[in-house]
Amino acid sequence: MNTLWRPGSRLAAALLATSLGACIFVPETTLRYDPDCGLTQRHMTLKAYQIAAFGGCRNEGCAELLVIAGAVSATSLVISGSIVVVGDAVYWLERRSRCLTR
């Protein structure tokens, strides 16, 4: 028997996917004042937004929804995470150059 479709593992997979799969991740820019340089610096973070809650789905239809939601969540995490890493590097370089010119 396939272990993925045993009742106990289905429940665990559904709980995991429900908690993670209904979210998307979006990069967010925040502003902070740097007293050492006397400048306002920008910083990027990831913000999670819940987009759906799964209620009464059953069997294969529920599994398909969970897989799709998990794929969307993972994709948004990878893309937004990459944007945050690159954006923070750019903001760091910008802050360094502006702070040195003062």
Residues 6+ apart with CB under 8 A from 39: 33, 95, 98, 99, 102
Rounded Cα gap, residues 52 and 2, in angstroms: 29
Apex CA 77: angle with CA 67 and CA 47, to 5°?
A: 120
In tens, the pLDDT along 36-76 reads 788 888 889 999 888 766 666 667 667 777 777 788 888 88
Distance CA 90, CA 70 (A): 30
Q: Which band of pLDDT confidence, cut at 50, 70 and 90, is reported for residue 34?
A: confident
**Cα distance between residue 79 and residue 65, in whole Å:** 21
- Identify each DSSP E strand in 1-102 by its residue range: 23-34, 39-50
